[in-house]
Amino acid sequence: MNFVLDTNAVSETEKPRPNPSFTAWHDAQDPGHLLITTVTLAEVWYGFHCLKPNHPDYDRIKEFASGLPRKYRVLNFDSRAAAIWGEISAQANGPLPLRDSLIAAIVRSRGFRIVTRDSKPFERMGCKVVDPWK
């Protein structure tokens, strides 16, 4: 089974003291079945570029962001995801968080599960959610 890591899951792997439940779940998975999206990659790079060059973690976070495509297979927002995103957006009762809706469309277009600590928006968008923090 393939799992797409939401940005909060990817970030959890870099915390000085990551959540033990999440870490146990992550480490028990086949690395070939853990994926990220281009949206998450963009969010990580955004976080890096918000740092000042003299930030104590500047180099470490740059290395982390640079290494993500080697650590995880990266899924693109493609025509399949675009069709799902249109459906999700049209059926929503109220506004959706843009980045989460793009991730949800990628996840649903492939029939995968999303791994996130923020399950409600993804459940609302019809994703199968895994929350290893619980």
> In this predicted model, what pLDDT tens digit does every residue of 44-89 receive, in sequence order?
999 999 999 999 999 999 999 999 999 999 999 999 999 999 999 9
Considering its fold, how many domains does the chain have in total?
Answer: 1
Position 129 scores a pLDDT of 98
Q: Judge whether 107 and 123 are in contact, CB under 8 Å.
A: no
Dihedral pair phi/psi, residue 33, rounded to 5°: -110, 10
- The pTM (predicted TM-score) of the whole model is 0.95
Q: What range defines the domain where residue 67 resides?
A: 3-130
- CA nearest 2: which of 76, 96, 73, 91? 73
Element (H, E) at 85: helix 79-91
Residue pLDDT, tens place only, 86-116: 999 999 988 999 999 999 999 999 999 999 9
Position 134 scores a pLDDT of 84
CATH for 47: 3.40.50.1010
